[in-house]
Amino acid sequence: MSSNKKKYENGIILKVDKPIGWTSFDIVNKIRNTLKLKKVGHAGTLDPLASGLLIVCTGKYTKKIHEYQDFDKEYIGSFIIGKTTPSHDLETEFISSKSIKNITKEKIMNTTKSFIGNQYQIPPKFSAIKINGERAYKKARKKENVILKPREVRINKFEITAINLPKIDFVINCSKGTYIRSIARDYGNKLKVGAFLNELKRTKIGNISINDSVSIEKLINKIKKDLNEDNKK
């Protein structure tokens, strides 16, 4: 058995900076096909329109996935207030628009503070949660009625880093299972003007930082180099 291939089979934690446009499964699939290894999985989905830190486990380390899933996550991003979409991001078309002329910095800061702590959050209808065996987003795309139960989540930190209305930049640290798109929806509802998630980047999972990650291109090149070294032996 080749030594580098064996290393991946025994288990490695890979830290990928997922680009916009890729699904989390696209990343896993690319690594799986390059390694020719079935046991590859990720530890927490990022939406296709989101970027940032994605942890991928190989081989025997796929048993560790749940450990990383349980870690708190940190994100940076922006909301656009005054408009809404069915998916609460840019995946779907705008469905409403309201004036934001009465939105002040004080209102924004007070609304932000109200999210800190434990709370019940309704996941987005456009999510991968299963309803009777079918993904919620598939039902939502077919315009079927989607009812999702509230889930308890925790917001540890929610800070506004810039206000350039209608855009509001933020940093959020939260528990597993928290949907930032749902925060965008609820944020807009509290301001009474609506909002959607404009951009999102995951910067931390537990103590692991985006600074520890590499691009998918660099990672694939590294894997190919490792496997080529095995072939030369």
Catalytic residues, by residue number, are 47
β-strand 73-81 against 195-205: which pairing, if any? antiparallel
Q: How far is CA 69 from CA 66, 72, 73, 140, in A?
A: 5, 8, 9, 26
The residue assigned the tokens 């009625």 is: 145
Whole-angstrom CA distances from 144 to 85, 87, 96, 107 are 16, 14, 20, 35
Residues 6+ away with beta carbon under 8 Å from 114: 190
Q: Give CA–CA dist 35/184, Å, rounded.
A: 38
Residue 104 neighbours by CB distance under 10 Å = 11
What are φ and ψ of residue 26, in 5° steps? Answer: -55, -45
Q: Is 182 left (phi over 0), alpha (psi -120 to 50) or beta?
A: alpha
CA atoms of 222 and 224, how far apart (whole Å): 5
